[in-house]
Amino acid sequence: MSVKNSLLAILAAEPTHGYGLKSSFEKTTGGAWPLNVGQVYTTLGRLERDGLVQPEGTGDGPRQTWRITALGREALEDWYENPVELDPPSRDELAIKVLLAAAAEEVDVTRIIDRQRVVTMERLQQLTRHKQKADPDKELPWLLLVDAFILKTKAELTWLDLCEERLRQRAKPAKPAKEQG
C-alpha cells in the first residue's frame, strides 16, 4: 500500500493536518488498514522534502495544515494513470506455509488446507454479511473494498481446492503399464 500516494490523494481534495489525514484515510478505507499517526508525519516530512506537499499557514506540530503542490498533483496523477505492478507478487504467508509443508514429507498438508478452508469460509461469510448491511449510497468506498475482499477470499478457497486436488493426484499410485502381447 502506498501511504505516500494515499496522503497526496486526500490532500488533493483539501488541505488538512496530520491527524485529519489519518482519519480520512481510515474512513475512506473502512478502517481496513489502520494508519499510525507517526507514519503520517514521517511520510509528510518525506513528501515535503520531495516538494510534493508544503505546510500552509503558521501552525506547527499536530496543528500544521498541509497542502499538495503542483509537483504533488503531477505525482498523484502519475500514480492514478499507472497500473499497479504485482511482479514480484507480495509474500503470501499461506502459500509459503503450504509450499513448505508440501515439501516436508512428515507434515500433513491436507490438515493445514482443511483448517485454512474453515477459517477462510468463516471470513467469506463475515464479509458477505458486511456487504449485505452496507448502504451503497453512503458507503461506496467500503462496499468496493468488501467486494475486493470477497473476491480475494473466493480465490483463496479455489486455490486451496486446487492444492488439495494436486496433493490427491500425487498420492495416487502410478498405474502399471499394460503388458504388450
pLDDT at 175 exceeding the cut of 70: no
| pLDDT of res. 179 | 55
pLDDT at 15 exceeding the cut of 60: yes
Distance CA 154, CA 139 (A): 22
pLDDT digits (tens, 9 = 90+) for 94-107: 999 999 999 998 99
Read out DSSP for 64-101? -EEEE-HHHHHHHHHHHHSPPP-SSPPP-HHHHHHHHH
| pLDDT of res. 72 | 97
Q: ω into residue 176 within 30 of 0, thus cis?
A: no
pLDDT digits (tens, 9 = 90+) for 127-156: 999 999 999 999 898 899 999 999 999 999
Q: Global pTM?
A: 0.75
Q: Are 72 and 53 contacting, i.e. CB atoms less than 8 angstroms apart?
A: yes
Average pLDDT, the chain: 91
| pLDDT of res. 1 | 57
Q: Are 156 and 120 contacting, i.e. CB atoms less than 8 angstroms apart?
A: yes
| pLDDT of res. 95 | 94
pLDDT at 180 exceeding the cut of 60: no
Share of the chain above pLDDT 70, in %: 91
All residues at 6 or more sequence positions from 119 whose CB lies less than 8 Å from its CB, including other chains? none
| pLDDT of res. 63 | 81
- Beta strands at 53-56 and 16-17: parallel, antiparallel or unpaired: unpaired
For residue 32, count other CB atoms closer than 10 A to its CB. 13
pLDDT digits (tens, 9 = 90+) for 41-72: 999 999 999 999 999 977 666 689 999 999 99
| pLDDT of res. 155 | 97
pLDDT at 75 exceeding the cut of 80: yes
